[in-house]
Amino acid sequence: MLAYSMLYPTVTLTRRVVSMDGMWKFALDEKSEGEAQRYVEGFPGKDMIPVPASFQDFYTEKEIREYTGDMWYEKDMFVPGEWEGKDVIIRFAAATHRAEVFVNGIKVAAHEGGFLPFCAKVTDVVRYNAYNKVVVKVNNELTVTNIPCGETITLSNGRKMAKPYFDFYNYSGLQRSVHLMAVPKESVHDIDLAYELNGGDAKISYRIKTTGEHPVQVKLFDEDGKETASAKGKEGVLEVKAAHLWEVHAAYLYKLSVRIMDDAEIVDEYEQQIGIRTVEVKGTSILLNGKPIYLKGFGKHEDSDIVGRGFNMGIMKRDFELMKWIGANSFRTSHYPYSEEIYQMADREGFLIIDEVPAVGLFESLMNFMEASTGKQTAFFEKETTPVLLKAHLKAVEEMITRDKNHPSVIAWSLLNEPETTSDAAVPYFKEIFDCAIELDPQKRPRTFALVMNSVPGVCKCYQFSDIIALNRYYGWYVKGGNEICDAEKMFREEMDAWKALNLDKPFIFSEYGADTLGSEHKLPSVMWSQEYQKEYLDMTHGVFDSYDFVKGEQIWNFADFQTTEGIMRVNGNKKGVFTRQRQPKDAAYLLKDRWTKIPLDYKKEKDSF
């Protein structure tokens, strides 16, 4: 069990939440002198930076944008006197990639991993009815002992530089919201829910973890605020007659209220929106509420101009509007768990999410999409440091599942993206990760990972762990592009035939496919990088998808153009977006809209066998 609660901060009868978002003092610490100079009590300088945001794209100096190392954030926080007697907690929705937190000069928390929340309990160090100094040391170096993987090199001018083994910019800092909360000392810590449908009725099995011994009361309210079911005890069942199910693009959200009671007194109250639905894999079908579904949508990134990977509410809203417009029903949170507000919106809008842990770069190459296309085999899981990496990976899986398990939108866990799968050492590593996920998830959702180009039948030693086989495939882009596209199609079909021959009786989805395309380029006849070629590529690829009945989903790479490390393979970022980084359509968007609005949710339902 995690030391702190992952529950999203909410105000209830017993809980208080104050946002700490806004301008924070900011300083880089190139020589890592901050600690020795007691930065933990407050540091010199006047530079201010917004939170949430990545720090990089605000600045005009390249050495700041590319800065790798320690950086410091500082803010004064007022703690109200009426909170005395409760636990006072600072909650960081994310600090990328690691952080140490100090309040009034005292260390109160440390966390590794840049995309999941952590809390600092500061009850015993704060002064009430007074300002308290919060100082956070953030570090954005990449290593092979934490996810996402990469290296940190030192240039000849003495500066450190991040070298990701993955294809997105190493945006970092306090990229998500910070909250100050007051929570009762005896409180709701965690909530497990699992669903069973029976005719029109539903059973919700629940388990509540609290930090004390007082009894628990659970109630369910419908969208009109009417009480629909109730139960007593830390574990039990809520019986919902004539349940409104949560469906794709027709989400119904109930409110779950959990109270810890001391006779008539409410010790703690926590409320959360939930949706009643089941998810399972049966044969080659993915079933939602017992009915087959076909996934249409995207691999995405949290990425936009100026704020980088910082959570941006406006971008979130625009992205959902575009996804509805184009006829999508799903997305993968490639390559890290996203901001919690995005899952809340997906719950509300009825979108399906494949939730991905930040396990990317477990393949030793900056351009694994290129090297894997050559059939190159590497041995990533045979390093001396692999056990340390595994520990960090397991912890991230635990944090992600604990954080996201009650979102109806989350239908599957993606446990790695494009790892090396060709050596025997990968097998026990995968086993631990996949076992951990099924054990932690009360709903036993399907598990998957995205297979890189060289993970093919006969070579890949790990696909059997997946409940849904997810392929990242770039035939016609990294392999046999342009005028050779007929050969790309031939190779693609040969691979698909090889999968078919294995008779796995599992659903396949394409978790990535796409072609870089410049929003500015038109060319008749087409050339690679032109809008015309993106469409030709898609027509060929979709034709292959449509010929195999066990293919139950397509999530194109990528929703929008996004920032990467600079290099000869990238033109100020990856341009495989269906939309530009400014969220305007390329021509391919209209092709996809046409296709996806025609494909029914239960596409290929009759043909769910090989």
Q: Is 227 a catalytic residue?
A: no
Catalytic residue, candidates 141, 418, 420, 532? 418
Are the beta carbons of 413 and 357 closer than 8 angstroms? yes
Name the minimum Å distance from CB 574 to ligand BDP: 5
Rounded to 5 degrees, what angle do the CA atoms 481, 486, 488 make?
50
In whole angstroms, what is the distance from residue 485 CA to residue 493 CA?
Answer: 12
In whole angstroms, what is the distance from residue 463 CA to residue 499 CA?
Answer: 11
Name which of 54 and 177 has its Cβ closer to ligand BDP: 54
In whole angstroms, what is the distance from residue 346 CA to residue 579 CA?
Answer: 20
Helix or strand run (H / E) with residue 589: helix 587-598
Name the minimum Å distance from CB 596 to ligand BDP: 21
In whole angstroms, what is the distance from residue 559 CA to residue 298 CA?
Answer: 5
SS3 content of the chain, % helix, strand, coil (to 5): 20, 35, 45
Name the minimum Å distance from CB 335 to ligand BDP: 6
Name which of 168 and 550 has its Cβ closer to ligand BDP: 168
Name the minimum Å distance from CB 356 to ligand BDP: 10
Name the minimum Å distance from CB 118 to ligand BDP: 26
Name which of 332 and 595 has its Cβ closer to ligand BDP: 332
Interacting residues toward ligand BDP by CB under 6 A: 166-167, 335, 368-369, 417-418, 472, 512, 557, 574, 576
CB crowding 290-319: b at 16 or more within 10 Å, else e: eebbbbbbbbbbbbbeebbbbbbeebbebb
Could you give phi then psi for residue 525, rounded to 5 degrees?
Answer: -70, 170
Are the beta carbons of 356 and 333 closer than 8 angstroms? yes
Q: How many CA atoms lie less than 13 Å away from 111 in the CB half-sphere?
A: 29
In whole angstroms, what is the distance from residue 425 CA to residue 594 CA?
Answer: 44
Name the minimum Å distance from CB 185 to ligand BDP: 44
Compute and round to an integer the Cα radius of gyration of the chain.
Answer: 24
In whole angstroms, what is the distance from residue 251 CA to residue 187 CA?
Answer: 29
Name the minimum Å distance from CB 166 to ligand BDP: 6
Name which of 238 and 470 has its Cβ closer to ligand BDP: 470
In whole angstroms, what is the distance from residue 581 CA to residue 590 CA?
Answer: 17
Burial of residue 184, with CB atoms counted within 10 A of its CB: 0-12 exposed, 13-18 middle, 19 or more buried = buried
Catalytic residue, candidates 302, 371, 399, 512? 512
In whole angstroms, what is the distance from residue 477 CA to residue 461 CA?
Answer: 25
Could you give phi then psi for residue 336, rounded to 5 degrees?
Answer: -170, 155
Name which of 173 and 358 has its Cβ closer to ligand BDP: 358
Q: Is 418 a catalytic residue?
A: yes
Q: Which of 392, 470, 393, 399 is nearest to 440 (CA)?
A: 399
Name which of 6 and 470 has its Cβ closer to ligand BDP: 470
Name which of 19 and 572 has its Cβ closer to ligand BDP: 572
Name which of 166 and 533 has its Cβ closer to ligand BDP: 166
Name the minimum Å distance from CB 365 to ligand BDP: 10
Q: Which residues are catalytic?
A: 418, 512
